[in-house]
Structure 1
Amino acid sequence: MSFNLHNIVISNREEVLEEFKKIGVDGGGAGVMAPKAFHYLFKVYDLTPKQANILKQEMLGKGGDAAVARGCVDASIEKTDILLIGTEKQFRAAIKKLRLQPFRLARLAEQLEETLVNLRGRKVRTLECRGKHLVLGERTLVMGILNVTPDSFSDGGKFNNLESAVEQARRMVDEGADIIDLGGESTHPGYEPISVDEEIRRITPVIKVLVQEFDVPISIDTTKAEVARVALEEGAHIINDQWSLRADPRMAGVVAEYGAPLVMMHNQNGTDYHDLMGDMIRFFRESMDIALKAGVERNNIIVDPGIGFGKTVEQNIEAMRRLKELDCLGLPVLLGTSRKSMIGKTLDLPPDQRVEGTGATVALGIAAGVDIVRVHDVKEMVRISRMTDAIVRHASH
């Protein structure tokens, strides 16, 4: 007779502690063994052979391992990336030794420690939105897209006047939207940029009504600091910057001044990458530095992988597959895949027939841990989110 044996899949510390509890493990023993249950693979870029060889030695000494480029041992190369392989316990032991090492390895030790903490999972918390409140981590929040543009790729300018825009916002809130994201400038490939004055003219009348009529926070999708300032003065609650503070150097200061939450989206000109996710993580770290130096609170920052921006279809799909790698930042994640060309090109469908493809990306995003999904089809995506939450977050509604 065979033994009853199977593999256990766990995604966080709480889940492994629950498995220990099921078989009656002593509480003290569970705390000791939990760091042994998580196996990590970390990639560090552009190290000198001296740095890499010390790292490899420290990991090997703690029972882990490290993979480096050929030529690293004899320093016949100038730089190498390195893959660090080990359990949480092994990494923590290595971190203690790295703190005593030269060649900036003490700083790397601090980053490894920060990453291990971030990978334990984001706690449920309240995002303060200038008088409005959003709870992050209990369930997936749904952001409804409201474009007041004549050339939107997805809705053809259907809401390009005050009455239709407010009616659409009302419909989305009734269908379960937690946030309304208002945009006055199209950003699809080949779009025509508009002036600051024109963008302000388009969004200001709508903001005035939305902040008075609806209880949900109003997000403003803009890359321009002056547009953000006017919107916040009119009572908007969140700034959604598709260039992560890179398009307008004044944006970080405006966001900090008003204490608004900030969505930073990954974007770039062209689709060339050294390493897709590594380059994206570096991009976010650089934008985080800009934000923090300007006075934006870390707790107010949300990241968006920028599906459909600066990426080929294949790169978008790879980013979707590797969304959990954003967990190392320890920040909430917003995912915007709604009706994107990635879906259209994969399924060979026009924008108004991409709801099922959007639903697939929303469900997979939630399974990967995203906190907010930005969508056009609110009713359908709320239902998909609630069902996926019931499985992934054990959330009931």
Structure 2
Amino acid sequence: MDMQVNVRFIDNLEQAKAEIRAIGSDTAGIGLMAPKGVHRVLKISGVNPKQANIIKQEMLSKGGEAAITRGAVDHSVETTDVLLMATLKQYRAFIDKLKMQPFGLAKLAASISEALDNLEGRKVRVLNCRGKELEIGRRTLVMGILNATPDSFSDGGRFTEPAAALEQAHRMVEDGADIIDLGGVSTRPGYSEISSEISIEEELSRVLPVLERLVQEITVPISIDTWRAGVAQEALAAGAHIINDQWALRGDPELAGVVARYQAPIMLMHNGQDSNYRDMMAEIAGFLRQSIEIARQAGIPREHIIIDPGIGFAKTYEQNLEVLRRLKELTVLGCPILLGTSRKSVIGNTLHLPVNERVEGTGATVALGIACGADIVRVHDVKEMVRVARMADAIVRGGAGEG
């Protein structure tokens, strides 16, 4: 038989170990070789020339590479980005040396180590939703959208009456929804300002009558889509389980404290006032990282935090596609990822279809989103997207979609 050359794409340490084990190597050899089989590229921003030169020197000494701007060598620039390129084995040795360096580099070493840990594949974890538990990571969870609003871009006015909303919620649960996301204010894609079009009283009048019926009859956790602390307070007191904040704790400074007091999970979505970015994915990650810190400072544990890249918010059509293409980069934050693309304009602009004809486009974004790291998908068409998610899970998670 002629010798053949094939390729293996290895995403994490466990995959590397499995490939080496399949060759027949002994256990000790697997442990030594596997870290050489995983290559990572990390980008660090805001590095001063003194730090950059030490980083480059230490990484080169371990056999890796560090790209810095030319001006960092002669200190003619104030800061530089650094692109690190190395195997896990090289990173380990590099981190050990960096821990011993001055100028804040020991702290950077800890951040690099944390980032590398977060990239080691999906972690199965249990999310305690105020007594109701959700297992995240074993399969993709499906969040069904329930709009108690007269002006939602997709189904405005259909479920404003509690009876109609309850019937729709039951239907979504029967179709496989793991979470019901109830909202009382329209958050139209493309709208990037904190909405105060309706009062807190009006938002509560839309949400609470529906919520009171849902918590009595619906078995899955109920999420409330709001950025207002006053609404969250009343909703959690009435039995809601999760808060879904489209402003990632930037819209109301009191919201984090409310969520912490009720020990509820929170979903933090990237948003902004415009779509002007220098390095979009880095800035989205930075925004979410800051919101995670706000949450933790308020007493919300990290295991209660879910992040959302905010498709359709503070992003152009091309930027939305780029976020979807590069979604996997957000796994560096170490939090489950919620993806909300259902029927949005990025699909309409691609396929030139109205809102009610975007199910196939939504399915494509759901499947590719799962492949790129999404753990929860927020959708209107629950039955169809549960099927898409199960098929995607069977491929991406190795049969986890069965059953």
CA deviation map 1:215-268 (0-9, x unaligned): 100000000001001110010000000000000000000010000011000000
1:184 maps to what in 2?
Answer: 184
TM-score (norm 2): 0.97
- 2:276 matched to 1:272? yes
Matches within 5 A, 1:55-204: 55-188=55-188, 189=190, 193-204=197-208
- 2:386 matched to 1:382? yes
2:215 maps to what in 1?
Answer: 211
- Checking the alignment, whether the CA contact within 8 Å between 1:132 and 1:216 is kept in structure 2 is yes
Code of the residue aligned with 1:15 in structure 2: it is: Q
CA deviation map 1:39-58 (0-9, x unaligned): 11110112111111111101
Give the aligned CA root-mean-square deviation in angstroms: 1.1
- Checking the alignment, whether the CA contact within 8 Å between 1:239 and 1:261 is kept in structure 2 is yes
Code of the residue aligned with 1:232 in structure 2: it is: L
TM-score (norm 1): 0.98
2:102 and 2:291 mapped to 1: Cα distance? 28
2:249 maps to what in 1?
Answer: 245
Code of the residue aligned with 1:10 in structure 2: it is: I
- 2:342 matched to 1:338? yes
1:4 maps to what in 2?
Answer: 4
1:21 and 1:60 mapped to 2: Cα distance? 30
2:164 and 2:158 mapped to 1: Cα distance? 7
2:330 maps to what in 1?
Answer: 326
**SS of equivalent residue, structure 2 residue 70:** coil
CA deviation map 1:197-227 (0-9, x unaligned): 1111100011111111011000000000010
Code of the residue aligned with 1:385 in structure 2: it is: A
The total of aligned residue pairs comes to 397
Shift in CA distance, 228/279, structure 1 to aligned 2, threshold 3 Å: same
1:239 and 1:294 mapped to 2: Cα distance? 15
CA deviation map 1:7-52 (0-9, x unaligned): 0112222222221221221112111111111111110112111111
TM-superposed CA distance for 1:334, in Å, is 0.4
TM-superposed CA distance for 1:192, in Å, is 6.7
2:317 and 2:356 mapped to 1: Cα distance? 19
2:10 and 2:357 mapped to 1: Cα distance? 36
**SS of equivalent residue, structure 1 residue 371:** strand
- Checking the alignment, whether the CA contact within 8 Å between 2:147 and 2:156 is kept in structure 1 is no
Code of the residue aligned with 1:152 in structure 2: it is: S
TM-superposed CA distance for 1:2, in Å, is 3.7
2:13 and 2:218 mapped to 1: Cα distance? 39
2:281 and 2:397 mapped to 1: Cα distance? 25
- 2:25 matched to 1:25? yes
- Calculate percent identity across the aligned residue pairs: 61
2:37 maps to what in 1?
Answer: 37
Higher mean alpha-carbon deviation, 301-310 vs 93-102, is at: 93-102
2:320 and 2:197 mapped to 1: Cα distance? 24
**SS of equivalent residue, structure 2 residue 40:** strand
1:61 and 1:365 mapped to 2: Cα distance? 38
CA deviation map 1:320-372 (0-9, x unaligned): 00111011111100000001111111111111111010000000011112110
1:78 and 1:230 mapped to 2: Cα distance? 49
2:197 and 2:233 mapped to 1: Cα distance? 19
2:255 and 2:196 mapped to 1: Cα distance? 21
